[in-house]
Amino acid sequence: MNNDKNALDRRSFLKASLLSGGGLMLTVSWLSSFKSPHKAEALNLPDQWSQLNGYIQITSDNKIKLICPNPEFGQNVMTSLPMIVAEELDADWKNVVVEMGPHDPVKLGAQFTGGSNSVRMYWKPLREAGAAARQMLREAAAQTWNVPVGEVTTKAGVLLHSSGKSAKYGEMASKAAGVPVPKELKLKSPKEFTVVRKSKKNVEVQKITSGKPLFGLDYTVDGMLIAMIQHPPAFGMKVKSFDAAETLKMPGIKDVFILKLYEDGFEQGGFDTRSFNELLVIVGNTTWEVMNARKKLTVSWESAGQLKDTVAGRDGKKREVVVPGALESTTTQMQQMQDYAAKPAQQLRKDGDPETAFKNAAQVIERTYNGPFLAHNCMEPMNFFAHVTEEKALLAGPLQAPGWAEPTLAKLLNLPPEKIEIQMTRMGGGFGRRAYAHYLSEAALISRKVKAPVKLMYTREDDMTYGIYRPMYTATYRAALDANKNLIAFHVKGGGIPEHPIHANRFPAGAVDNYLAEGWQIPSNITIGAFRAPRSNFNAAAEQSFLDEVAEAAGKDPIEFRLALLKRAKENPVGKNNEYEPDRYAGVLQLVRDKSNWGKPGNEKFHRGVAAYFCHNSYAAHVVDMVSRDGQPYVERVYSAMDCGIVINPDAATNMVQGAVVDGIGNSFYGELTFKDGVPQKNNFSNYRMIRINEVPKSIEVHFVENDLDPTGLGEPPFPPVFGAVANALHKLKGKRYYNQPFRDEPEKTI
């Protein structure tokens, strides 16, 4: 058993109260207490947003209810988080009921789903909540039976005593509400787990499969109007004038108007990214009527010119951000990147003397890798409901970070936060796109303007051409080998529009005596944002492709080449601030090597590629088995290995990795968004190619490293190395290397 004596301090507490119908309500307020030297970087959150809250309710009829604070978009937190509570509570899982809570910054904290942090952040606090409730129930039973509390045990929601006395939790819940919250908790050791590490079905599976209204698009109220926005056809443009005469003649149309999202001088928060500030809005009775009426608008557009935004940084300081006014094209962007790549860049890390090592090298390998803008393409397009009056605001819809949206909304509406209610629906995909809540603010301002409840709807075309995209990246890698084919120097210089992709302190940093990482970036008016495993999704593809090529030049097996570097990083690490643990990194490579029978007979029909990567505190490795089918490359099998610490829900975790693999394969072969004079060249699935069912691998075999480490990220870490594994398998199949995403045969781009 683990003694956690200081778990509940003045910022981490539990409060018990009696339910009106009898029973225990345990209000849980806690501060996520994992220790990390890189806490702010790991979470990508300010310290003041780290506090989380939730409720546990135990009713007299023995039902246990958890109000889940974190938004759900398919990663299954509505099941995994309650499992953690149920484990320490020693509850019968059949009696657990889960509800999604509304946004409540006082009781439920920031409620952020993203960065693969949900389980990691909640692991200890939720265990403490469950353990405290269990102890209070034991105390109540001991008092009722007049026995020492140490003689009271629990099993599956039942309190037991050696005398034969027993009671269900519900029978003692009311009395437990009056028991002081324990100051010292005993948490289970992993070997005692009976709920965690056991597969549980999604708590909403019946609602999902039976078509219950769960998503933002399902939300409706009486008298609700529908709104759509006609945004400029190109980034860098705005409305000059419009004629809505024909639009207003269309059936069901209520109004057409322009409003600003942010007034001049508005101080934006870090996630207040928006693509277009002037909104040309059409409001009507139904979606179909508004869609048809929008086609009748006559709009004249003009250059928006260079803009300046005032943005509040995470350090609390304001800064001016200049937004270029040019109408950007992919061809000119690539030329810009080529020019920037030739200039001196920001040094991000330097170990040893890489300049001398490259000068004296027997062989130097240099390769450049390019990645395009990518659209998020959530299956559910952006939407949000809003009903705003002078006194209060009610909003409902799919949102990853209500705690980040509320302060902006309060300023826009001039309402105190306590007068704003945000209800969170299930999301049809997020991937970082729904961390940017401009569409919530747009809905609120529209509702205030028309003085009615409104649902803002984006069509697929709106969604794909409105931003927010994965940035456009490039990186040049160089490796120096000595006369014995040993790697003696490594250099990466990466840039992008409008950010660079380089994680300077990740592998192979720490494994090479002479190491240099540099970065540069180009400003743009094409809006970008987090995309599943930000920056890592490109960085892993380029780095892992390059390491394979270096291993080939050195005459070494690609897995053994990586393992040798990791051994060096463990036994005699170079430099400081290496983010990864070499043992764990090597562990996933060894596991995927063994499970895939790498290098052994029986796999001759396959062209095999391997890649591994560390991000979001977890380690992932894949072996991709590729064949040619109808003249096209096809990934038939994938072996995956993960080290994410304790796996809460194995089946759900397996599904998460499988989904990342399919997503990675699709983006590797097809993902690309280009621009011409600021206009996105693709606007729907008819021309933005997605992976199809018949292209999904026949087998995706997932294996987890078994250990008792606290859980780390899982939603994002499996995604980045898929790109590298696909590229390396494609090299075996085609006999040539691919340096540009998506990987397909066409004239190569040069940056």
pLDDT in tens, 181-208: 888 899 999 999 999 999 999 999 999 9
Q: Report the relative pairing of strands 383-388 and 13-18 from DSSP bridges.
A: unpaired
Q: How confident is the model at residue 57 (pLDDT cuts 50, 70, 90)?
A: confident
Q: Phi and psi of 714, rounded to 5°?
A: -140, -30
Other CB atoms closer than 10 Å to residue 440's CB: what's the count?
Answer: 28
Provide DSSP, 330-362. HHHHHHHHHHHHTS--EEEEEES-HHHHHHT-S
Range of the domain at 273: 216-308+382-457
**Do residues 476 and 583 touch, judged by C-beta distance below 8 A?**
no
pLDDT in tens, 69-94: 788 988 899 999 999 999 999 999 99
Domain contains 168 = yes
Q: Report the relative pairing of strands 420-424 and 393-397 from DSSP bridges.
A: parallel
Q: What pLDDT does residue 643 have?
A: 98
pLDDT for residue 296 is more than 70 = yes
Query: What's the longest Cα–Cα distance across the chain?
Result: 85
Domain contains 510 = no
Other CB atoms closer than 10 Å to residue 697's CB: what's the count?
Answer: 18
Give every CB contact of residue 315 below 8 A, 6+ residues apart in sequence: none
Q: What pLDDT does residue 457 have?
A: 98
Q: Give the pLDDT mean for 268-274.
A: 89
Q: Report the relative pairing of strands 632-643 and 699-704 from DSSP bridges.
A: parallel
Q: How confident is the model at residue 129 (pLDDT cuts 50, 70, 90)?
A: confident
pLDDT for residue 4 is more than 80 = no
pLDDT averaged over every residue in the chain: 91
Same domain, 223 and 188: no
Q: What is the CATH number of the domain that holds 153?
A: 3.30.365.10
Domain contains 354 = no
**Cα-trace Rg, the chain:** 27
Q: Give the pLDDT mean for 547-554.
A: 98
Same domain, 578 and 679: yes
Tokens 């944002």: give the residue.
529
Q: What pLDDT does residue 24 have?
A: 72
pLDDT in tens, 196-255: 999 999 999 999 999 999 999 999 999 999 999 999 999 999 999 999 999 999 999 999
Q: Give the pLDDT mean for 348-360.
A: 98
Other CB atoms closer than 10 Å to residue 314's CB: what's the count?
Answer: 13
Whole-angstrom distance, CA of residue 357 vs CA of residue 365? 13
pLDDT in tens, 440-457: 999 999 999 999 999 999
Tokens 């409901």: give the residue.
385
Whole-angstrom distance, CA of residue 550 vs CA of residue 614? 19
Structure tokens at 251: 């059936």
Cα-Cα-Cα-Cα dihedral of 353, 355, 361, 363, to 10°?
Answer: 130
Give every CB contact of residue 447 below 8 A, 6+ residues apart in sequence: 386, 387, 388, 393, 453, 454
3-state secondary structure (DSSP) of residue 455: strand
Structure tokens at 390: 């002078």
Domain contains 374 = no
Domain contains 702 = yes
Q: Which of 359, 260, 259, 250 is nearest to 294 (CA)?
A: 250
pLDDT for residue 54 is more than 70 = no
pLDDT in tens, 604-636: 999 999 999 999 999 999 999 999 999 999 999
Same domain, 246 and 163: no
Same domain, 21 and 167: yes
Whole-angstrom distance, CA of residue 324 vs CA of residue 523? 7
Same domain, 123 and 243: no
Provide DSSP, 248-317. HHSTTEEEEEEEESS-TT-EE-TT---S-SEEEEEEESSHHHHHHHHTT-EEEEEE---EEEEEE-TTS-
Domain contains 744 = no
- Is 639 exposed, middle or buried (CB count within 10 Å of its CB: 0-12, 13-18, 19+)? buried
How would you classify residue 164: left for phi > 0, otherwise alpha for psi between -120 and 50, otherwise beta?
left
Whole-angstrom distance, CA of residue 447 vs CA of residue 400? 22
Number of DSSP helices (H) and strands (E) in the chain, helices first: 17, 33
Q: What pLDDT does residue 49 have?
A: 23
Whole-angstrom distance, CA of residue 95 vs CA of residue 169? 10
Q: How confident is the model at residue 6 (pLDDT cuts 50, 70, 90)?
A: very low
DSSP-assigned beta bridge partners for residue 613: 620
Q: Which of 103, 467, 471, 408 is nearest to 270 (CA)?
A: 408
Q: How confident is the model at residue 20 (pLDDT cuts 50, 70, 90)?
A: low
Q: What is the number of domains present in the chain? A: 3
pLDDT for residue 483 is more than 80 = yes
Q: Which of 542, 553, 544 is nearest to 481 (CA)?
A: 553
Whole-angstrom distance, CA of residue 372 vs CA of residue 673? 6
Same domain, 192 and 265: no
Q: Which helix (H) or strand (E) holds 140?
A: helix 118-145
Whole-angstrom distance, CA of residue 67 vs CA of residue 53? 10
Name the residue with higher pLDDT: 637 or 269: 637
3-state secondary structure (DSSP) of residue 565: helix
Q: How confident is the model at residue 317 (pLDDT cuts 50, 70, 90)?
A: confident
Same domain, 155 and 93: yes
pLDDT for residue 122 is more than 60 = yes
Same domain, 144 and 113: yes
Q: How confident is the model at residue 380 (pLDDT cuts 50, 70, 90)?
A: very high
Structure tokens at 348: 């991000």
For 687, half-sphere exposure in the C-beta direction (CA atoms, 13 angstrom radius) is 10
Using omega within 30 degrees of 0 as the cis cutoff, is the peptide bond preceding 446 cis?
Answer: no
Same domain, 106 and 189: yes
Q: What pLDDT does residue 514 have?
A: 98
pLDDT for residue 5 is more than 60 = no
Q: What pLDDT does residue 177 have?
A: 85
Domain edge (last residue) among 131, 164, 198: 198
Q: DSSP label at 22?
A: S
pLDDT for residue 315 is more than 70 = no
Other CB atoms closer than 10 Å to residue 189's CB: what's the count?
Answer: 10
DSSP-assigned beta bridge partners for residue 284: 226, 253
Q: How confident is the model at residue 46 (pLDDT cuts 50, 70, 90)?
A: very low
Same domain, 573 and 451: no
Q: What pLDDT does residue 8 have?
A: 35
Domain edge (last residue) among 198, 227, 242: 198
Same domain, 174 and 221: no
Domain contains 158 = yes
Same domain, 222 and 193: no
Q: Give the pLDDT mean for 40-51.
A: 29
Structure tokens at 323: 């937004």
Domain contains 41 = yes
pLDDT for residue 9 is more than 50 = no
Whole-angstrom distance, CA of residue 662 vs CA of residue 655? 11
3-state secondary structure (DSSP) of residue 40: helix
For 318, half-sphere exposure in the C-beta direction (CA atoms, 13 angstrom radius) is 8
Q: Which of 521, 536, 707 is nearest to 616 (CA)?
A: 536
